Structures are given as C-alpha cells and as structure tokens.
Structure 1
Amino acid sequence: MPSKVLCLLYLCVILYIVDCKLIFKRHGPPPEETPKTRADPEWHTITQKVDHFNPIDLRTWSMRYLSNDEFYEGGGPIFIYLGGEWEISTGRLTAGQMYEIAKENKGYMFYTEHRYYGSSYPTADFSTPNLKYLSLDQAIADIVYFIKHVKEALNLDGKVVVVGASYSASMATWIRLKYPHLVDIAYASSGPVRAVADFYEYYEVINDNIGLVSEECLTTISDAISQLESKLETEDGIDEMSEKLQTCNRIQTAEPHRSFLFNFVIAELFAGLVQYAQPDSIQNDCDLLASFSGTALDKLIGYIRTQYDPDCIDDYHTFIQTYTAIGTTNDMWRPWLYQTCTEYGYYQTSTSERQPFGQTFGLDFFVNWCTDLFGANFGTEILETGIKRTNIFYGSQTPEVTKVLSIHGTVDPWHPLGILSDLNDQSPSILITGTSHCADLNSISDGDLSQLVETKLRAREIITEWLADD
C-alpha cells in the first residue's frame, strides 16, 4: 500500500487470512502520536461482573485498563479515555488532546478496554449465546463500576471527564446522559449517536469529498463500476474479471457474493481513504487511479491491485467462515458485527443516487451477514428492534444532556449520525470544515488546518471552564 503508508497504515484495521487478504478500513482506534513524555503508563485489571443486571449471576471477569498519574495533583480531575472496538495501547496516555488537557488541569489519566475487545473477555468464547453479554448497557455499566473502583482504590475525588473516539465517543455521550451523578463531562469526537439500519448518507459524504478534489476521479470510479457490472453479466466477463482482479476464487455473482465484491473489495478502499483523509491523500490516490492506462475499469483494477498486492482477493464465503469462528481473539470483527446486528445497524449502503458505486450493495446484504454469522433469528426484526431501543433509551441526536462537547469534521462520513441538535450552550456541537474522523483528538501540529487548531484550543478551554464550575 505505498500510497497510504502515512495516511492509513496505522489507522486501518487490516485482516490477513492465510494467503489472501481482505481490507477493512473504517473501524478501530484513531492514530496515536509519538509520546511526549517519558512516563510509562501502567497496566492493570479490574474484576467486573459478566452480567451487571442480574444479581443472581455471580460470574466475573478481568477488564484491562491503563493509568498515568504523571500530572496528577490531589483533588485534580479524572480523565477516562474509553476504549471502543479495539485493543487499547499506551499511546493515548502519552500524547494527544486528552493528554494536553490533563496536563493543563493536573488530572489523573485512564484508558479502559471495552468488553470482548483486546484481551478483555467476559466469556470463554464468542459463541452467539455468550455474545448476549456484549451490549451498550453492559459496557457502560463496566465504566460505572470502574469509576467507583478507582475513586475508592486511589482516593480520588475530582470531577470525572470521559473522552471517546468514534463508537466510544457515542459511549461518552451516553454515559454522561445516563449517569450524570458519576460523570461530570463528556468529550465526544466523531461519535455516531443515531442508530440506523440504512446509513446511505455515508457514501454521499464519500462522494462529495472525492468530488471536491477531482470530478474526473469520481467519474472514473462511477464509470468503472458500470463497466464492471456489465462484465459480470457474462461467463466470459466473469472469467476475465476474476483473472484481472486476481481473486482467490472465481467471482460469484449470486447474492450476497456480488454485493460483497462491490462493498468490501472496492467501496471499502475509498471509504477508508476519505474517512481518515490527510492533506493531499485523496488527491494522491486520485492521481494514482488516473495513472493507469485503458478504460475506467482498467484504471480501477490497477488501483485495486495496488491495495491488495501481492495477495489474492478473497470472497464472502471466506469472510463468513472466518467470523463464525467462536474462539476469543483480539480481532475486533466478530464482536463488532454482533453489535451492529443487535443495537446499531450503521450499514453503509449504496442505495443513494449521490454516490459512485451504483446500486450494488443494499441493506439486504448486511442483514444477510447477521443471519449467516449469528443464526437464523438474527435478521431484520432483531436489527430493527435493537435500533429502536438504542434510539429511545439514549436519545438519538436530541438527548437532554449538558456538558457534552461533540466534535465532527465535514470530511468524516460519520458526521450525519453524530451532530447533536436542539441542545443549549452547555452542550456545543462543533463541525470542522475539511477535517476527517477523530482528527481533533491529536495534539496540535504544523499540518493542522486553522479551524482544526482553533477547535482544539477551544475544546481545551471548554473542558477547563466546565471543570471550574461549581
């Protein structure tokens, strides 16, 4: 992936399967920075209940977390960076926006690992029956008990600030909403708070941001998709595309195999490019796309192969085979897909006309994988019920909550689900022009756009002001 080393290599969640490859770019933690301190965060565990809401169930498990008291002075605030669908590491406690705010306010820093991710396993395996303990309610309860634990164990009495990125930013908003007596302030970066099944707006944002950089690039992608659809209508065309794309197996055009090809193999590449865009990264990849000769489809195939080289491209069958495995692992995909199938949806479809991928992957494709991964009962009804419950219980984009700082970028495709509305000045929602997913969580750097710098500084001021409130 020579064109994405600086932009995506450490941002993306990448899965390697034997001799083939599938690339997933849109989930996982935002990038960590070079440490600004010599302090070495310490690893700990806390004993949590498997089921916080059943007093008869006495089973427990060990949740990992990190701490750094480098700046702490007695009575100072408690800063908790919430882990999401990833394995935690030390970088968030040695640099970045929360680190800077903790330094200014003499705070104690923590980083918690979300149940079922990293090495924090409440159950012996990830079988479907065991995954029922993977829920927003349980994960937030873990944080509640964590706060109680560290306050008592370390004799801390300062205000509590929770900080989150992407999904964990949603958690930060929701825990402030549900437990305001324990959490005083939430800093939510790029958090999607409205659950929805058909998240068609995602690829509209991809479309618009590629188009802002190069209309020619957008047209090439769109034309190539149309040409590929035509090729897949004949047996000779399928053979030709299987050979040129270097798929591990001959392309299958029946659903859900066809949608998997257009979504995971193709659209994912551009989704990751835009979601975590850095200055000139979209332009660089559009230039790479244009550098190949031939038809629009030839150009797209050339671009795709640079992303997968030298591996062959796998298919839906291998995807399902991989993620029906129930063994515990720090690969985040089986537990995360379970969460989307039962609580959030967030399925980025191509059902909108304002995107370059045609009508090639609709909602049925994603509902189908819920059934294939978790069982026949996991279909439309469970998905719709879970989404409705999440929005009712947690307020969607209009929660009645104060002291939540919500920040998003216009380049971030998640922002349509995250902008809080109808809130007072005590819960500002900031949209930064030209900024991508979670960009505000890094320390200020020379490469930051001016509005991003201003927002980072303003965020620090807001948190400090709220900490000073009685």
Structure 2
Amino acid sequence: MRFLQVVAFALIALSLTEGKLFLKKHGLPPAEAPQARAKAPEFGWFKQRLDHFDTTDNRTWNMRFMNQSQFFESGAPIFIFLGGEWEISSGYLQTGQMFDMAADHHGYMFYTEHRFYGKSFPFEDMATDKLKYLTTDQALADVAYFITHMKKTMPGMAKSKVVVVGASYSASMAIWMRMKYPHLITAALSSSAPIEAVEDYKEYYEVINDNIKLNSAKCLETIRSGTAAMEDLLEAKWGADTLKTLLNTCEPIKIQEPHRSFLFNTIGEVFASLVQYAYVGQIKVECNKLLAKSGSPLEQLSSYIRDQYSGDCMGLYDEFLDYFGSPNITNQIHRQWYYQTCTEYGYYQTTTSNNQPFGKTFPLSLYHNICKDLFGKKFNVDLLQRGINRTNIINGGYKLEVTNVVSVHGTVDPWHAVGLKQDLNENAPVFIVNGTAHCADLSSISVNDLPEMYEAKKRTKQYIAKWLK
C-alpha cells in the first residue's frame, strides 16, 4: 500500500507495506554527494524544556542535533541549519551553500532537529493532548536556548556571530528567528519560505498548472480530460469498480465525501510532487511519459498514476486514517505536520481556482474533515482560522519587519506564491529565480547553474559576508 500526499510545506511520498512506513521524499531536496574535503558530522543531544513559556513546568526532553567542526577557528561564526518537518541527516553539513560559507568564514556548523520529528520526541507517543507542545513558538525557543547554551559552554564561541539557514518551513523559521531573537541571530538565509499563512492555498495548483502548460499544453489537457473522465466514471453504476482497477487502489473506492476528494487529491499530488522538486527539463520528460501511454486520456492518466506506485496499491482515506490517526507512531511525519497545519498554518492546496486541471475535485472541506478525523471534533474551522490569524499577527505575514535576511524562491516552486515577492529593505533582499524549483539554491555554486541561480547564490554569499563583518 502506498500513500502519496503533499500537505502544506511538506512533500511526502510514503510507502506502507506490512506495517512498515518508508519515507521517500519530504520537506527539502536531498543534499548532493558530500564534498571530498567534508568531515563526517557527529550527533549530540541537548536537554530542552517541554514548555518554554511556563516556568512552573519543569519537564524536559532531549533534542537531537548534529555538529561539524572541521573549519572552526575561535571567535568565527556559527552556522545553524534549522530542521523542519523531517529527520535530520548529514548531507547539508558536508556540502551546499552553508557548508561553503562555513569554510569561507572558518565557521562551526550545527543542524538542529525540530521537536516531534526525526528522533526528537518529548513523549513516547503522539496523542493529541501531547501535540499541543508542537508549535513554532516552542520550536524557535528551542533553537534560542540551544544557541545560548553552546555559546556559553563551547570553547571559542562566546563572541561568535550566528547565521541560521532554513528550507521550506524551516526557512520561515529562519526569518522569524532573526526577527524574534536579533540579539542571538546575526543573519539568516531563507530558501523557499512561505511567509503568510492562509486557509485556502488555491494558488499552489495554479503554479502546478502553469509549469506543466509551459512544458506541454497537450500534457496539461490530457490531465484535465483524464480527471474529468474519472469524475464521469464515478457517476456510472459500476464506475467505482472500474476506476479501482484502473488505479489499482488497495480497497474499493467510496464515492461519498471526503473519500472521493481524498482520491482525487492523491492523483493531483503526483503532479505536485513532480513540479515542486523538478530539475531542469524533468517536467517535459514526465509529460512525454504520460503522452506516450496508449488509449484515451482516462487510460493514459490512470496508467501514469499507477506507474508511480511501482506495483503497490494506492491507499485511500480509510487506510490513511487508520494509520495516521493512531497516536502510537513516531517513525513518520504526517500526523505531526497535519497537526501544525490544523492549528497554525492551513496552506491547504485545493482546487478552488479554475486555473488548474483537476476540476473541483478536492475542495477545502477535505482538509476540514482531515483535521477533525485525525484529532477530534474541536479541531474545526473556527480553531483553524483562529490559528492562522494568530500566526500572521505574531509573525507579521507579508508585513514583517526584519533585516539581515536573504530570501530565495524559484518560479517552478508552488510555494513561491505565498513567499516574499520583493525586497523588504536594502538589508532584506529577495531573489526570485526563473525556472528553478523548491529549495534549489541550497546546493553549492556551480558552473552548471542557470545564470540567474548562479547570480542569486553569489549575491547570497556576499550579503552574508557583509553582515558577518
């Protein structure tokens, strides 16, 4: 059984087989191969308070981090890659923009793991009442306490300036760290950060639409026609059975909501996955594969979707709830991230807009149902909207005021539509790079970069160097 779902900032491709969950891709693209000069980083654990905002609560837990010291000279900067809704790994401490800047400035590198992700769990399960400690405010405070401790206890760090680097959700965190803790954070690099929380993020699939169309209008029309044919098929007497066979779903298809919307959302996310992380030319390659399928648009689309599951069956809504509704799982990210979207962000990627190929097949109500079905009836529309409103008031949304932050977006990335669109001021530049995808700027500068990307990376390093003087 396999689920393929993209929610909010996260890109998730999951396989659930014989009770095991396999993470294929999530959050940020994998780092390139380590550079030859890279030393292997080390893991460590740091004791954090469970609730940084209640001094009467003395409970603690252990946060995992990684450190890389090979370039460090006393008094040089500290570079921290902020973990988001994923498990930390060594790649970005062995290659990429932050690695290169640490080498240039003789800096020390850390990679902090976000509470409730990876192996950084305050509790042994993820019951809903325990997830109330999963907030961005708490996660930002985790980093603040981590920095303060390291500067007090690590030799040569007392006067070190600090640069935070983030990707996707953690890119938003990087901006907010600089804004909320300017006495601790000297500068920030923010890659592909959504910055204004919104309930109905209809623009996401508009970007998917436009990038597929840019590569192949025929491909886009085949997706549109195939989706419409699936809708028609579900209206026929035996249509659900036929579509089950065409898509190879694990269980019979239920046509009532939210089961129907979830099915179409799963289909849509195949193309969301493609576009969000596409390397140059990849969308055209995949469109050619779709168009090479034989038969009607329905048959072409179904065959292409089926191929993405590599022989596994497609999981549907009941199976999704059976697995991710359980609090007794700590080896994945879906339940935690949904909780954050249901309480702080929204960012629900719907088919509200007409400028996308999936009809009106997964409306906002799908996500309202998911919040209630995963966490309980009180996680309703009112709670969601209050959480989104709070996020934008507390963090500033598009109106935030901050300096010493570089923000980078790519036009292929669907998240750029809720990112910063222009420079905030002379010390908060925004680079929007044509033809590049989610977090593509995190890799090292290369002669193979598109000219705009090369320039954005070069100028990013120049800004950080200026702020570290």
Query: Shorter-chain-normalised TM-score: which range?
Result: over 0.9
Task: Give the Å deviation of 1:420.
Answer: 5.1
Detail structure 1 runs of 4+ shifted over 3 Å in the superposition: 19-27
Asked whether the 8 Å contact 1:20–1:313 carries over to 2, the reply is no
Other-structure match for 1:160: 162
Other-structure match for 1:41: 41
Could you report, residue by residue, the CA deviation over 1:264-298 in whole angstroms, capped at 9, with x for unpaired residues? 2x101000100001122101110000011111111
Other-structure match for 2:86: 86
Task: Give the Å deviation of 1:28.
Answer: 2.1
- How far apart, CA to CA, are the structure 1 residues paired with 2:318 and 2:394? 36
Instruction: Give 3-state SS (helix, strand or coil) of 2:44's partner.
Output: strand
Pairing 1:198-347 to 2, within 5 Å after superposition: 198-264=200-266, 266-347=267-348
Task: Give the Å deviation of 1:185.
Answer: 0.6
Asked whether the 8 Å contact 2:244–2:252 carries over to 1, the reply is yes
Asked whether the 8 Å contact 2:13–2:25 carries over to 1, the reply is no
Other-structure match for 1:14: 13
Task: Give the Å deviation of 1:328.
Answer: 4.3
Could you report, residue by residue, the CA deviation over 1:357-392 in whole angstroms, capped at 9, with x for unpaired residues? 100011110011000000010010110000000000
Instruction: Give 3-state SS (helix, strand or coil) of 1:286's partner.
Output: helix
Percent of paired sites with the same residue: 51
Instruction: Give 3-state SS (helix, strand or coil) of 2:398's partner.
Output: coil
Instruction: Give 3-state SS (helix, strand or coil) of 1:110's partner.
Output: strand
Instruction: Give 3-state SS (helix, strand or coil) of 1:308's partner.
Output: coil
- How far apart, CA to CA, are the structure 2 residues paired with 1:461 and 1:423? 18
Of 319-328 and 17-26, more deviation after overlay is shown by: 17-26
- How far apart, CA to CA, are the structure 1 residues paired with 2:398 and 2:322? 36
Answer yes or no: is 1:193 the counterpart of 2:195.
yes
Instruction: Give 3-state SS (helix, strand or coil) of 1:312's partner.
Output: coil
Task: Give the Å deviation of 1:23.
Answer: 10
Which amino acid counterpart does residue 272 of structure 2 have in structure 1? A
- How far apart, CA to CA, are the structure 2 residues paired with 1:198 and 1:41? 40
Could you report, residue by residue, the CA deviation over 1:158-206 in whole angstroms, capped at 9, with x for unpaired residues? 1110000000000000111111111111110001011011000000000
Of 283-292 and 448-457, more deviation after overlay is shown by: 448-457
Which amino acid counterpart does residue 250 of structure 1 have in structure 2? P
Asked whether the 8 Å contact 1:48–1:61 carries over to 2, the reply is yes
The 1:435/1:221 distance shift into structure 2, 3 A limit, reads: same
Other-structure match for 1:135: 135
Pairing 1:146-157 to 2, within 5 Å after superposition: 146-155=146-155, 156=157, 157=159
Other-structure match for 2:6: none
Instruction: Give 3-state SS (helix, strand or coil) of 2:408's partner.
Output: strand
- How far apart, CA to CA, are the structure 1 residues paired with 2:22 and 2:348? 17
Answer yes or no: is 1:379 the counterpart of 2:380.
yes
Task: Give the Å deviation of 1:124.
Answer: 2.6
Task: Give the Å deviation of 1:22.
Answer: 10
- How far apart, CA to CA, are the structure 2 residues paired with 1:341 and 1:147? 29
Task: Give the Å deviation of 1:41.
Answer: 0.6
Instruction: Give 3-state SS (helix, strand or coil) of 1:14's partner.
Output: strand
Instruction: Give 3-state SS (helix, strand or coil) of 1:419's partner.
Output: coil
- How far apart, CA to CA, are the structure 2 residues paired with 1:263 and 1:88? 28
Pairing 1:346-357 to 2, within 5 Å after superposition: 346-357=347-358
TM-score (norm 1): 0.95
Answer yes or no: is 1:101 the counterpart of 2:101.
yes
Of 419-428 and 342-351, more deviation after overlay is shown by: 419-428
- How far apart, CA to CA, are the structure 1 residues paired with 2:376 and 2:16? 23
Asked whether the 8 Å contact 1:249–1:315 carries over to 2, the reply is yes
Other-structure match for 1:119: 119
Task: Give the Å deviation of 1:461.
Answer: 0.8
Unaligned runs of 5+ in 1: 1-10
Task: Give the Å deviation of 1:26.
Answer: 7.6
Other-structure match for 1:65: 65
Could you report, residue by residue, the CA deviation over 1:100-128 in whole angstroms, capped at 9, with x for unpaired residues? 01111111100000000000011231000
Which amino acid counterpart does residue 140 of structure 1 have in structure 2? L
The 1:25/1:396 distance shift into structure 2, 3 A limit, reads: farther
- How far apart, CA to CA, are the structure 1 residues paired with 2:19 and 2:76? 50
Asked whether the 8 Å contact 2:280–2:436 carries over to 1, the reply is no
Instruction: Give 3-state SS (helix, strand or coil) of 1:44's partner.
Output: strand
Instruction: Give 3-state SS (helix, strand or coil) of 1:414's partner.
Output: helix
Other-structure match for 1:8: none
Other-structure match for 1:76: 76
The 1:291/1:346 distance shift into structure 2, 3 A limit, reads: same
Asked whether the 8 Å contact 1:61–1:122 carries over to 2, the reply is yes
Instruction: Give 3-state SS (helix, strand or coil) of 1:209's partner.
Output: helix
Which amino acid counterpart does residue 199 of structure 1 have in structure 2? Y
Asked whether the 8 Å contact 1:192–1:417 carries over to 2, the reply is yes
Task: Give the Å deviation of 1:423.
Answer: 1.5
TM-score (norm 2): 0.95
The 1:464/1:199 distance shift into structure 2, 3 A limit, reads: same
Asked whether the 8 Å contact 1:22–1:314 carries over to 2, the reply is no
Which amino acid counterpart does residue 180 of structure 2 have in structure 1? K
The 1:269/1:20 distance shift into structure 2, 3 A limit, reads: farther
- How far apart, CA to CA, are the structure 2 residues paired with 1:23 and 1:200? 29
Asked whether the 8 Å contact 1:24–1:268 carries over to 2, the reply is no
The 1:197/1:345 distance shift into structure 2, 3 A limit, reads: same
- How far apart, CA to CA, are the structure 1 residues paired with 2:186 and 2:260? 48
State the number of aligned residues. 457
Other-structure match for 1:391: 392
- How far apart, CA to CA, are the structure 1 residues paired with 2:133 and 2:144? 16
Unaligned runs of 5+ in 2: 1-9
Asked whether the 8 Å contact 1:19–1:311 carries over to 2, the reply is no
Task: Give the Å deviation of 1:74.
Answer: 1.3
Instruction: Give 3-state SS (helix, strand or coil) of 1:99's partner.
Output: helix
Of 170-179 and 448-457, more deviation after overlay is shown by: 448-457
- How far apart, CA to CA, are the structure 2 residues paired with 1:447 and 1:215? 28
Asked whether the 8 Å contact 1:195–1:344 carries over to 2, the reply is yes
Which amino acid counterpart does residue 16 of structure 2 have in structure 1? I
The 1:328/1:293 distance shift into structure 2, 3 A limit, reads: closer
